């Protein structure tokens, strides 16, 4: 029993350290972006904006073209009420967090709301 408590305490300590480091990460990212911007000016922001356009465009293509085709093939029904419900429920969260459980739990709730079987 004592070994189990030691491992639990060590695990808890490591978890707290990791959470602290994760909380500091935005400051580090801001510092890196500010440093890059100070050295290169708007040229760096232009390349970032091109990357952002490609990422958002790809996500929209998947969300509004590929996913509806898959849903239509599977259900033989109009997929857009379900697609728009999913985007409304979890679009922003899925974009910023990229967490599998978040996206799919929201989509499951959307399926229940639209009563898709």
Q: Does some domain include residue 48?
A: no
Helix, coil or strand: residue 116: coil
- DSSP state string for 30-98: HHHHHHHHHHHTHHHHHHHHHHHHHHHHHHHHIIIIIHHHHHHHHH-S--HHHHHHHHHHHHHHHHHH-
For residues 80 and 33, state if they share a domain: no
Task: Give me 107's structure tokens.
Answer: 């989509």
Contact present, 90 and 102 (Cβ < 8 Å): yes
Provide the pLDDT for residue 84: 81
Q: Does some domain include residue 51?
A: no
Contact present, 85 and 106 (Cβ < 8 Å): no
For residues 60 and 107, state if they share a domain: yes
Q: Does some domain include residue 23?
A: yes
pLDDT in tens, 83-98: 787 777 776 666 666 5
**Domain limits for position 14:** 1-40
For residues 111 and 66, state if they share a domain: yes
Contact present, 63 and 80 (Cβ < 8 Å): no
Provide the pLDDT for residue 66: 92
Q: Does some domain include residue 98?
A: yes
| Domain total of the chain | 2
Q: Per-residue confidence at 112, pLDDT binned at 50, 70, 90?
A: low
Contact present, 107 and 89 (Cβ < 8 Å): yes
Provide the pLDDT for residue 56: 86
For residues 36 and 66, state if they share a domain: no
Instruction: Please give the Cα distance from 107 to 69 (Å, whole number).
Output: 17
Task: Calculate mean pLDDT across residues 104-112.
Answer: 59
- pTM confidence score: 0.51
Task: Calculate mean pLDDT across residues 45-72.
Answer: 87
């Amino acid at each position: 029993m004592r070994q189990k408590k030691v491992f639990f305490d060590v695990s808890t300590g490591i978890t707290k350290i990791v959470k602290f480091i994760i909380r500091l990460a935005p400051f580090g990212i801001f510092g890196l972006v500010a440093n890059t911007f100070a050295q290169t000016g708007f040229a760096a922001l232009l390349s970032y904006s091109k990357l952002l356009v490609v990422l958002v465009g790809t996500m929209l293509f998947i969300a509004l073209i590929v996913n509806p085709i898959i849903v239509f093939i599977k259900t033989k029904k109009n997929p857009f009420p379900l697609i728009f419900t999913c985007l409304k429920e979890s679009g922003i969260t899925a974009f910023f967090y990229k967490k599998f459980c978040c996206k799919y739990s929201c989509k499951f709730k959307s399926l229940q709301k639209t009563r898709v079987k």
